[in-house]
Amino acid sequence: MAKPPVPVPELNAKFGPHLNFAPPGGWDKSARLGPDKLVKTHCSFCGMQCGIQLKVYENKVVGFEPWEEFPFNHGMLCPKGVKRYLQGDHADRLLTPLIRTEDGFKSISYEEALDTTARRISEIRDKYGPDAVAIYGGASMITEKAYVLGKFARVAIGTKNIDYNGRLCMVSAGTAYRLTFGIDRATNPWTDLVKAKVVLIAGSNTADCAPITTHYLWQCRENGGKLIVVDPRMTPITRNADLILPVRPGTDLALFLGMLHVIEREGLTNADYIEKYTTGWDAVRDSVRAWTPDRAAQITGVPPDSIVTAAHWIGQTDRAMGIHARGIEHHSKGVENCLAMINLFLSTGNVGREGAGCMMVTGQGNGQGGREHGQKADQLPGMRSITDPEARRHVSAVWGIDEKDLPGAGLTACEIMEAIHRGEIKALFSMCFNPVVSLPDANFTREALSKLEFFGVIDFFMSETAHYADLVFAGSLQEEDEGIICSAEGRVQKINKAVEPPGEAKSDALIICDLAKKLGKGKYFDFPSTREIYDELRRASQGGLADYYGITWERIEQELGVFWPCPDLDHPGTRRLFEDGKFWHKDGKAHFQVTEWRPSGAPLDAQFSLYLTTGRVVSHYLSGTQTRRIGPLVEQYPEPKAEIHPRLAAKHGIEDGDWVRVTTRRSSMTIQAIVVKTIRPDTIFIPYHWPGRRSANNLTHRTLDPRSKIPEYKVSACRIEKTSPPSDLDELRLEETGWSGASANGGSR
């Protein structure tokens, strides 16, 4: 219904981001008192889901202690993990539900918030139909919340329109793995990376976005393995790369087609493997015949010799692995990029063995688990298709509803925002999602949110998206709930509750169940705690692809994680997929997929002759709702900067530290330049964690991959020019980052 009720600086003065530097009570107090207990759990940031012990004193998280016994990270943590404890006892923490008034947000009681939300959702549903109400979920929360949110949408509201922010993250990979392998999970445990002789790292800024994986890759190299890195930038992982393929943004597909051409032409395929375990090879083989290294080089900007070498290295070993991330997935051909990369490994038989496989590096904390159990537009729990009659019958039976009342596939995250903009969706209820920062074309997102008749949010901080809400519930942080997540390698892990939510803040799952009761559907949401939700999830997933039936909370704690699928209590879990040569399609085979080259959705022209690409930095997480409030992480990278090559800088008279204007077909932003030789001269990189005038997503475009519906964050046509710094720089900094610009460490990268 509205724009922010009062100007954003006023909201920020009250709700932050403010920066927290010290543990509760200050350094002296925490040092003097020591903790009441150490709680073994996992980091709230990123798909590595490192084990960590939280120090708790008087219901506050006051610090951390490494958890060296946890087998994935052995105590290793990135700076986000080290400082994550600073998010809990934070001045910005929402302690009561808030309702929009003309004077800004005012506290209301929990009961009042439930009543208002249920009433408004019911009114809109009755007036416009259930699909006019949409639900947004997220992949940074425990799987129990994701599960109960999916059930809430379909059972309590009856809408088909639920989707989650993993739509901006994992869906290209997921779609490709479903198409080829019949299942959407990393194929190998991370320990396999150490055993590989060649690792192809494509579009993964591993050191910044999955820092712990670096150790695995360095150990691979200590063992004599070779690393090939595909990226338009030289990220820290390239410092020990054996072969660097600095691909032009948006052309990864051509690179992979060129590599497969060489593999096929030189007889480096594994014909026995292809014959025995796969279908569809002939069509793929024919499709790459025209992709000579020269042709691939012309499109990608990677030398033909390098393409040939990379193909040789993969084709000549029986232990090749591939890891890829958003760099190849955030494209209007993100699915094809993944399919073409998988084909390199499948055609050489590098699948389903120790040190042989191809897998995605999941980005969000519960990026894997969050997509398995029913908050995805097209899926039911257990990674079941919502259009599969048998899946619908099974889940309806577990839920105790008539299958006819179960909605079908709904709109995806970006499509929901477009439907809101068109006026078709009138109400939105969002949890664990900050679309104002994370969706492409942020001005469009802001316009859309202003059109809603009702917008309800659950969050622990006042996110930039919550500024647009009519009502904000004070929700729970990860350390305030008990449940499970699934890490990037497919290991189901236990999140343990360290503290109770403060003030009138409530567990997100409890809020959802209470809302369902207010909507008259209480009997389907009679869950005293997340444990009962999990037990129902196990049954709902039983027999599905992501079968959790055999994974109990107790088993996870005893075994330090269990890999799904795990269909019964005696099943050991599945660390590595396809070891028996069996894939998850009905015919038991892997299905090669033909991919066809096409350009990106934002082609260059004379006016916009450069590529803009976006991504992350090591000290921030996603839309920054949490990390932009943690002082040491903000000091490490306080504000966005535009990386450009000295050749491009010289052309425009730009020097390191100058202010530049970057313009795309949608918008422009003024930002400081960092001039480095580690990025292609035709490419500009801007990290996306920030809101407001320097939000990278003001510049990006809404072209989606036709199958995965992921936006094309990694390629936008742009131009650059030198300009003067904003006249209100100090206010701007405070407003957008809470950072005064005073720190000695600030802006070090």
Partner 1 sequence: MLGFEFYVDPSRCIGCRSCVAACAECDSHRGQSMIHVDYIDRSNTIATVPMVCMHCDEPTCALVCPADAIKKGEDGVVRSALKPRCIACSNCVLACPFGVPKVHLEPELMMKCDMCYDRTSIGLRPMCATVCPSQALSYGPPEAIARQRTSVPVRDFRFGNEHVRTKVFIMMPEEHPVLDVDIEDYMWREPNEQAERWIIDQAVFS
| Contact residues for partner 1, defined by CB under 8 A | 21-22, 27-28, 30-31, 63-64, 66, 68, 75-79, 81-83, 207-208, 211-212, 214-215, 218-219, 222, 234-240, 618-619, 632-633, 636, 646, 656, 674-678, 748-749
- Beta-sheet pairing, 320-324 with 198-202: parallel
Residue 551: C-alpha distances to residues 189, 541, 572 (Å):
18, 11, 9
Which amino acid type is present at position 402? D
Paired tokens of 612 = 């803009």
Q: Cβ of residue 680: shortest distance to partner 1, in angstroms?
A: 14
Q: Which CB sits closer to partner 1, 542 or 678?
A: 678
Q: Which CB sits closer to partner 1, 238 or 300?
A: 238
Name the nearest CA neighbour of 467 among 139, 13, 119: 13
Residues in contact with 27: Cβ distance below 8 Å, sequence separation at least 6, in sequence order: none
181/583 Cα distance (integer angstroms): 6
Q: Which CB sits closer to partner 1, 55 or 319?
A: 55
Biggest CA pair distance of the chain: 72
Distance of CA 539 to the CA centre of its chain: 27
Q: Which CB sits closer to partner 1, 545 or 674?
A: 674
**CA torsion, points 664, 666, 671, 677, in degrees to nearest 10?**
-30
610/2 Cα distance (integer angstroms): 36
Q: Which CB sits closer to partner 1, 75 or 581?
A: 75
- What does the DSSP 8-state code read for residue 662? E
The count of other CB atoms within 10 Å of the CB of residue 690 is 25
Q: Which CB sits closer to partner 1, 77 or 671?
A: 77
Q: Cβ of residue 334: shortest distance to partner 1, in angstroms?
A: 26
Q: Cβ of residue 363: shortest distance to partner 1, in angstroms?
A: 16
Q: Cβ of residue 637: shortest distance to partner 1, in angstroms?
A: 10
| Full DSSP string of 550-605 | T--HHHHHHHT-EESP--STT----SSTTTTS--SSTTSSEE---------SS---
Q: Cβ of residue 93: shortest distance to partner 1, in angstroms?
A: 21
Q: Cβ of residue 651: shortest distance to partner 1, in angstroms?
A: 16
Q: Which CB sits closer to partner 1, 220 or 247?
A: 220
Q: Cβ of residue 234: shortest distance to partner 1, in angstroms?
A: 6
Paired tokens of 631 = 């002082």
Q: Which CB sits closer to partner 1, 27 or 405?
A: 27
Q: Cβ of residue 27: shortest distance to partner 1, in angstroms?
A: 3
Q: Cβ of residue 47: shortest distance to partner 1, in angstroms?
A: 14
Q: Which CB sits closer to partner 1, 68 or 568?
A: 68
Q: Cβ of residue 631: shortest distance to partner 1, in angstroms?
A: 9
Which helix (DSSP H) or strand (DSSP E) does residue 23 occupy? none
- Beta-sheet pairing, 133-137 with 243-245: unpaired
Q: Which CB sits closer to partner 1, 73 or 412?
A: 73
**CA torsion, points 583, 185, 491, 614, in degrees to nearest 10?**
160
Report helix, strand or coil for 337: helix
Backbone phi, then psi, for 541, in 5-degree steps? -85, -15
Q: What is the CA radius of gyration of the chain?
A: 25
Q: Which CB sits closer to partner 1, 30 or 49?
A: 30
234/49 Cα distance (integer angstroms): 25
Q: Cβ of residue 43: shortest distance to partner 1, in angstroms?
A: 11
Q: Cβ of residue 204: shortest distance to partner 1, in angstroms?
A: 13
Q: Which CB sits closer to partner 1, 132 or 674?
A: 674
358/342 Cα distance (integer angstroms): 6
Q: Name the H helices within 182-277.
A: 191-195, 206-209, 213-222, 252-265, 271-277
